[in-house]
Amino acid sequence: MSWSDILLPPAVREQLAGLAAGAERNRTLLLSGPPGVGKTTSALALGLALNCRQPPAPGDFCGACLSCREFAGWDAVQAQLEQALSYRQEQVRTRAKEAAPLQVRLHPQILYFPPDGDFLSMAQAREIARLAYLRPDPGRHWMLIVPGFDQARWMVQNALLKLLEEPPPDATLALLAVQPAELLPTVRSRCLAIPLPPQPEPVMAEWLATRRPEVRADDRHMLLRLAQGAPGRALSLDLADWRARRQTLFQLLQATLMTSHYDRLFPLTENLRLSKEEIEITAEILYSVLQDLLYLKSGRSSAIQNSDSRERLSGWAREISWEQLELAVEQLDRLLRGLRRNLHRTLAWDAWALRVRMAAAGA
C-alpha cells in the first residue's frame, strides 16, 4: 500500500507526499471536503508516510515496514471507535467525557479524536495539546487527526489556537471539516488549507468497478450518482437501506404533494420518529429526491441520482411547482437547523409536511 493505491486528486496526493518528504513541514492542516471524499484517508496516509521506516520514494509509505505494520487498518476507525465507547461506558462511570476524553489509537503515533457526542469536547482538546507537546517515539512523528472540527464549539477551537500557531516540531495536526467556513477565522488563518474536491465520475466508475465488483452495473451507476464523487461514500452506501428509507419518504411526498387528506399525512410522519443520526440520513435522501425533481423540471434528466425511480419522479416533477420545490427545500433546511437545537422530531416532520402541503393546496 502506498499513495498510489489511494484514490485522491493527484494534486492533493502530491501535496501531501511533499509535506511528508519535506524537511520544513507545515504541521497544521485543514483538510476539507464533503463526507467520504477522503479527508480521513488522506490524514491517515500522511501519518503513515511521516512514520514509514522504508519509504519507497521520498514522502511515500511502504505498507510493509515495522511502522506501517503497526497501523490498525484503513477500515479500523469505526470498529475501534465503537470499542472505545463501549469500554468507556463500562469502565469510566463518573464524568466519563471529562475523565476519559474520547480518542482512538490507530498506530502508536496516529491518534484520532472523533466528536464526543455532537462536538469535540474541551477535554479532548486538552488531550490533543498534551500529546502534541510530548516527544514521539524515536524517529517518529505524531499525527493527531480531528474530524468534524467545523462542528466544534468556538471555545474549544480557541483552546487549540496556541498549538495551531506553533505546533511542536514532531507533531502534525490534521483538522477535518466539511464546512471550513464554519471555523473561526483565527483557526483558518493558522492552517494550511487543503480542499479535497469530488472525484470525476469516470475515475470513480473505474475505481468502483474494482472495489465493489459484486454490485450490479445499474446499481453501481446509482451508487456513483449518490456518492457525488466521494469514494468513501460509494464504498459505505447500502443501497437496500437507502431504498427502504426512500420508500417511506416517497409515501410522505405523495401524501404531501398530492393528497388533501391530512389524516393520511400524520401517520406517515410517525414513521420518521428516528434518532438524530437517522434523521440526518433521511434528510440526505430527501435532499437527493428534491434535487432530482429540480433536475427533471429543468430538463436535465440524465443528472438525477435516484435513477431507479425515474418514472415516478418525472410524474411528480410535472405536478410540483418551482415555488413548492423551493419551499420544500427551505423547510428541510429549517428542520435540520431545528434538530440541532433539539426540536421535537415528530413535530418537526409534521410542520415540514404541513407547510409544504399548505403551499401545494394554495397553488
| List of residues contacting other proteins (CB under 8 A) | 83-85, 87-88, 91-92, 96, 99-105, 108, 126, 129-131, 133-139, 159, 162, 168-171
d(CA 330, CA 142): 43
**293 burial class (0-12, 13-18, 19+ CB within 10 angstroms)?**
buried
Minimum Å gap between C-beta 178 and other proteins is 24
Minimum Å gap between C-beta 106 and other proteins is 11
Minimum Å gap between C-beta 67 and other proteins is 11
Q: Which is nearer to other proteins, 8 or 77 (CB)?
A: 77
Q: Which is nearer to other proteins, 93 or 341 (CB)?
A: 93
Minimum Å gap between C-beta 42 and other proteins is 23
* Amino acid letter, 143: M
Residue 312: how many other CB atoms lie within 10 Å: 14
Minimum Å gap between C-beta 102 and other proteins is 5
Q: The C-alpha cell of 282 is what?
A: 433521511
Phi, psi of 210 (to 5 degrees): -85, -30
Q: Which is nearer to other proteins, 95 or 341 (CB)?
A: 95
> Which residues, 6+ apart, have CB-to-CB distance to 110 below 8 Å?
44, 47, 48, 51, 71, 143, 145
Phi, psi of 268 (to 5 degrees): -75, -35
Q: Which is nearer to other proteins, 162 or 300 (CB)?
A: 162
Minimum Å gap between C-beta 124 and other proteins is 10
Q: Which is nearer to other proteins, 135 or 300 (CB)?
A: 135
Q: Which is nearer to other proteins, 91 or 342 (CB)?
A: 91
The residue assigned the cell 469536547 is: 121
DSSP string, 196-238: -PPPPHHHHHHHHHHH-TTS-HHHHHHHHHHHTT-HHHHHH--
Residue 351: how many other CB atoms lie within 10 Å: 17
* Amino acid letter, 137: D
For residue 272, give the nearest of 225, 335, 218, 333 by alpha carbon.
335
Q: Which is nearer to other proteins, 35 or 108 (CB)?
A: 108
d(CA 50, CA 111): 14
Sheet holding 104-107, edge to edge: 104-107, 110-112, 142-146, 171-177, 28-32, 192-195
Minimum Å gap between C-beta 99 and other proteins is 4
Q: Which is nearer to other proteins, 136 or 231 (CB)?
A: 136
Minimum Å gap between C-beta 169 and other proteins is 7
Measured distance between the N- and C-terminal CA atoms of the chain, rounded to whole angstroms: 58
Minimum Å gap between C-beta 110 and other proteins is 12
d(CA 20, CA 58): 8
Q: Which is nearer to other proteins, 76 or 354 (CB)?
A: 76
Residue 288 falls in which region: left (phi positive, over 0), alpha (psi -120 to 50) or beta: alpha
